Chain A
């Protein structure tokens, strides 16, 4: 499933059957590469992050949670950077570990069951998700 296909999807609380937020973005962490957090918009509380572990389900039409409390503020410096979009993977330049740029990330293919990142879609070539070894403010670094 592509990030682009899931963005703007509703986040629904299945206990109250209400729409509680909207998916605004994804936070990927390497080693092994996976979706660690969703970044949400149109939230009612102060938090905008939803950890993958706290998801109830990731369906083709909506993301579900069991409890509004799953949507929370950042817990550490890394999550703060994630919320500030500093670690946003879309639009980020891709560098090989040998210092060659391979374009920028335009989309990400992932497994909605596990959150595992399977492919980085870039402006040059598709890159196998397992090659992602680092994702920082400046670049996504991939093994050669």
Chain B
């Protein structure tokens, strides 16, 4: 009954305001923010607010494993039972504030590529962080412009620095079109070593 979903690249910030809808077709919330796991660059889940103009933040969240699907138009969940308290999603205060926005991206050979302004997610069979959008530094030759940097499957994150392999600079893209291919090519290169 279920075909594999099409792969879709999204900027994390675009998800803010997307409706959270059950498979029964009921609107239960809107996405407020994406919560990142500090380690590994994965997504812990989504904080929520009530739908509507005078929306209030909610104390419950959609944890990553409660997501049925994320598309251009909605985040789908099976039902309201997947919602979890915010404490479970982000046990430490550090984690709650621990998104990667504004962090510096450094290559493993010590070049500063710029600061993270957004995170690129790939939704499909899962939801994965596949890249960072950075405001490029001089090191990239497109200083001041926003560019997309592909990520390896796992990322070392420490303090305010995100370390990426130097080869990432060869697969930089300017927009989401073609970025999926850049991520695949970059990861293939890393596997070859």
Contact = CB atoms under 8 A, between A and B. Distances in A.
Interface size grouping (class) on chain A: 10 to 19
Contacts of A139: 21, 25, 27, 74
Which secondary structure dominates where chain B touches chain A?
A: loop
Contacts of A140: 25
Interface string A130-144: 000111111111011
A141 B24 contact: yes
- Sort chain B's interface into a size bin: 20 to 34
Contacts of A141: 21-25, 76
B22 A143 contact: no
A92 B24 CA distance: 13
Interface stretch (A41-49, A96-104, A107-115): A96-104
Interface stretch (B40-48, B64-72, B97-105): B64-72
Given A138-B19, A143-B1, A101 B74 contact: yes
B135 to A, nearest CB: 29
A4 B22 CA distance: 28
25 contacts: A95-B21, A95-B71, A96-B71, A97-B23, A97-B76, A98-B6, A98-B71, A99-B21, A99-B70, A99-B76, A100-B73, A101-B73, A101-B74, A134-B22, A134-B24, A134-B25, A135-B24, A135-B25, A136-B21, A137-B25, A138-B26, A139-B27, A141-B21, A141-B76, A144-B2
Contacts of A136: 21-22, 24-27
| Closest 9 pairs between A and B when the two form their complex, measured CB to CB | A99-B71, A136-B25, A98-B69, A138-B27, A136-B26, A100-B71, A101-B73, A134-B24, A99-B74
B164 interface: no
Interface in B94-129: 123
Given A100-B6, A100-B72, 15 more contacts: A95-B71, A98-B76, A99-B75, A136-B21, A136-B24, A136-B25, A137-B25, A137-B27, A138-B21, A139-B21, A139-B27, A141-B21, A141-B22, A141-B23, A143-B2
